Amino acid sequence: MRSATTWFDEYGESHRNPTNKLLHWICVPIIVVSSIGLLMALPVPAAMRAVSPWLNWGTLLAGAALVYYFFLSPRLALAMLPILWLVFALLYWLAQLPVPLWITCVIAFALAWLGQFVGHVIEGKRPSFFKDLQFLLIGPLWLLAHLFRRAGISY
């Protein structure tokens, strides 16, 4: 398995332009929230509901991502826990609005991906996930690792 630093360095190769970076700081969190929200909106089997009312496809994705992150960097994975808590708090709040959660998430997801692709047109490089789908999970961790570096915290 490649190290977190190796993933981040490779991801960073197509994220050097300041406008593209800014768009990623805006769009990646929206994509994370909307992806989890879309999965939360999917029906779950009765067996899953019987285990916990909180167990859904969104929590399963988040849990799987955390396991992946833990293998890359336990510190970053632990730091992602409160962020995911905020994501779920926001999604449960959005689910109370009169607009169905899935509609809100589809619109946010589409607009955020549009922003991502605009950023990559400006950058002049293809999105990393065209090379390896794992980069879809690396993007959020790359942003968090940037905050760690700025704070002088090793990961």
Tell me, yes or no, whether 153 lies in a domain: no
Please check whether residue 155 lies inside any domain of the structure: no
Tell me if 106 is assigned to some domain.
yes
Q: Supply the pTM of this predicted model.
A: 0.92
Residues of the domain holding 64: 4-11+19-147
154 falls within a domain: no
The helix-helix angle for 18-41 and 101-123 (nearest 10°) equals 160
pLDDT in tens, 34-85: 999 999 999 999 988 889 888 999 999 999 999 999 999 999 999 999 999 9
How far is residue 7's CA from residue 16's CA, in Å, rounded to a whole number? 15
Domain count along the chain? 1
* Identity of residue 88: F
